[in-house]
Structures are given as C-alpha cells and as structure tokens.
Chain A
Amino acid sequence: GEEVAQTPKHLVRGEGQKAKLYCAPIKGHSYVFWYQQVLKNEFKFLISFQNENVFDETGMPKERFSAKCLPNSPCSLEIQATKLEDSAVYFCASSPTGQGISGNTIYFGEGSWLTVV
C-alpha cells in the first residue's frame, strides 16, 4: 500500500493480559521500525527489521516485548503480561532503505493506542 497501516487503532487490556499490534509497511519498503510514544510526547525507539530479520533491537524491553516481521504477513509487536506503564501509542514506520543512506526518510503510521487498565 501507499501508507503504513496499523491495527488496531485502539486497544484496551487489563493488567497482565497480552496485547498484539499489527503493521503493514509501505509496499516495497525493506525496513520496519517500532516506536513507543509515552506521555509528554517522548518517542522511544524499540526495534527495527530489515525484511524479516531483526536489524536493531537495542530499545526493546527484553522481558515482555517481542516483535516479528514474517514474509507475506503484517509485522507484529506483542506485549505479554501488560503493565500500566505500557500504556502508550505505538507507532510503526517503514523506509525504502535503511543502511548508509543519508537523509533516508522514515514514514510513520497513525499509531495504535494501547491503554492498560
């Protein structure tokens, strides 16, 4: 598609429940990114993929967060046993190239709003 598509737009989970978010990158883009936007607008990088391979996972909380980008499927971000502090907007983004390209533009989806109650 022409835009990064994220689902669901809103998700409410009780503490301890699982949350799973999906992202379809722009067709032809090789790189996919997940960012978390918490209160006061701060963006935190979580993880990036080059096709189906993890490229950079330095921002990913190790314990409860996982992500995948499998061929012919939307990418996903899963949070096991959600906590209140996981409440945030999760943005997926994609770019046509990643490595070594100055000015490489990253295109963002509209985000998935996760509320943990």
Chain B
Amino acid sequence: GDSVTQMEGPVTLSEEAFLTINCTYTATGYPSLFWYVQYPGEGLQLLLKATKADDKGSNKGFEATYRKETTSFHLEKGSVQVSDSAVYFCALSDPNSGYSTLTFGKGTMLLVSP
C-alpha cells in the first residue's frame, strides 16, 4: 500500500535559518504530493502541492520539488520565522484511489526561536 515517511522531529531552528524537512513516499500509482501545515490548536491547511515529476510547489517562501527518481518531496524554506512554528505533514493521493483520499506522514514539528 501507499506510505509516506517524514523525518522525525522536533526540528529546532533559530529565526532566519534554512529549513529542510525530508519526505519520501511509496505509491502504487503516480501520486499527487502535498505539504499541509497544522498550527497549534488549528486544522490542516494546504501549504503547497505538485502533481507531476519535476513540478515545484511553492507558497509563503516554502518550496518542494516532486522527484520521481528518488520518490521524494522535501520541504525547504530559505529563512524561517517564529510564526512558521507548526507541525508539517507530507501527504500523497494515489490515482488508484481516484486521487480521492490522502495518505499522511506522521508529521514533523518545527520550532523556531527568536
């Protein structure tokens, strides 16, 4: 079955540091890939997505590139802010399920200090 593996957290950074959160996946089909963010006490918000190989999703300074050859979708940001502190979830949707459901990684908590 499908699965998503994320690096375990928490990731602790100082403000303006460079962020990478690794995500790799296994899927039976050619999935769509997503990053969601969950701020404390809130629901999930879509951060960015990519639907085919070499696509780069970007939003709010975050980027991730769909790498089919390494089955990866690593999240990066050049300069994090305290307000980026949250839990980040990598996820995929599989064409074999009609892209209708999401398979999530276990989440990576990011803590940014001033």
Contacts and interface: CB of A to CB of B under 8 A. Distances in A.
Interface of A: 4, 31, 33, 35, 40-43, 45, 48, 55-56, 91, 93, 95, 98-111
Interface residues of B, number: 28
A100 B99 contact: yes
Interface of B: 32, 34, 36, 38, 42-46, 49-52, 87, 89, 93, 95, 97-104, 106-107, 109
Contacts of A41: 38, 87, 89, 106-107, 109
Given A103-B49, A104-B93, A55 B100 contact: yes
Contact of B89 (A43, A45, A93): A43
A105 B46 contact: yes
Contacts of A35: 102
Contacts of B109: 41
Contacts of A33: 101-102
Given A102-B51, A103-B51, A56 B97 contact: yes
B49 A105 contact: yes
A43 B43 contact: no
Given A98-B98, A98-B100, A99-B100, A104 B43 contact: no
B32 A108 contact: no
Contacts of B43: 4, 91, 108-111
A108 B101 contact: no
Contacts of B32: 102-104
Contacts of B95: 100, 102
A31 B106 contact: no
A111 B38 CA distance: 11
Given A93-B44, A98-B98, A102-B99, 16 more contacts: A40-B107, A41-B109, A45-B102, A48-B101, A91-B43, A91-B44, A98-B100, A100-B99, A101-B99, A102-B51, A103-B49, A104-B100, A105-B34, A106-B46, A106-B93, A108-B43
